[in-house]
Amino acid sequence: MWLVAGLGNPGREYDGTRHNVGFEIVDVLASQVGATPWKSWKKGLVAKGKLAGEDLILLKPQTFMNLSGDAIGPALGFYKLPLEQLIVVHDELDFELGDVRIKSGGGHGGHNGLRSIMNTSGRDFGRLRIGVGKPPKGWEGAKWVLSRFRADEEPLLDEATVRTCEAIGMIVKDGVSAAMNKFNRRLDKNNGGDPKCL
């Protein structure tokens, strides 16, 4: 069994914002795996499905980003899952829009959702980091992540969503290391589009 948590902020005013990319991707994943309808559970919304023959618990914390750990910690305890069976999907300011990278363990990099999870549960969990672009000149990071994607950015976001769902499937089937080897690369535009390992 795996717990896949998409990070974001609850409320319609945050729909479509860069900070809510985690919510949007687990919504797509829930649809792809034919998950049960979302239902309220403690401090989150939960849906259940199967992926690569494994039971899958999907979670969208309803605590606001800064307290994500208050929803994820109880879910890990209730389902008796080790931290290594947690995958967190979240936005990443340091990556170009549409970049998808997998990471296991490490620091929070200033991301308050990750900081909260680490404070309540530890740091040895898998992360899928979705690039939302660096703030333009004159923008504060906090305001940028609460801005919405432009129409011309949607195709890149759609591609990132597809890759992220594929990456989650590979993590569940083959483990984080195998998925990192496959997905932590980008196309070298100066070399005929051949993939280059980062």
Q: What pLDDT digit, counting tens, does each position of 31-53 carry?
A: 999 999 999 999 999 999 999 99
Closest residue by Cα to residue 164 from 65, 60, 32, 45 = 32
pLDDT, mean over the chain: 91
Q: What is the pTM of this model?
A: 0.90
Which residues fall within 8 angstroms of residue 183, CB to CB, at 6 or more apart? 100, 101, 102, 163, 166, 167, 170
Which tens digits make up the pLDDT trace of 65-101?
Answer: 999 999 999 999 999 999 999 999 999 998 999 999 9
CATH of the domain at 22: 3.40.50.1470
pLDDT at 104: 92
Of 6 and 135, which is predicted with more confidence? 6
Q: What whole-number distance in Å separates Cα of residue 62 and Cα of residue 93? A: 22
Which residues fall within 8 angstroms of residue 144, CB to CB, at 6 or more apart? 18, 93, 132, 133, 135, 136
Which tens digits make up the pLDDT trace of 167-189?
Answer: 999 999 999 999 999 998 754 44
Domain that holds residue 31: 2-197
Q: What whole-number distance in Å separates Cα of residue 185 and Cα of residue 58? A: 26
pLDDT at 108: 87
Residue 161 scores a pLDDT above 90: yes
Q: How confident is the model at residue 142 (pLDDT cuts 50, 70, 90)?
A: confident
pLDDT, mean of residues 55-73:
97
Identity of the residue numbered 142? A
Q: How many domains does the chain have?
A: 1
Alpha helices in the chain (DSSP H): 21-32, 69-78, 112-121, 141-145, 154-174, 176-183
pLDDT at 164: 96
The residues annotated with a catalytic role in the active site are 19
Answer whether 25's CB lies under 8 Å from 6's CB. Answer: yes
Q: What whole-number distance in Å separates Cα of residue 2 and Cα of residue 194? A: 33
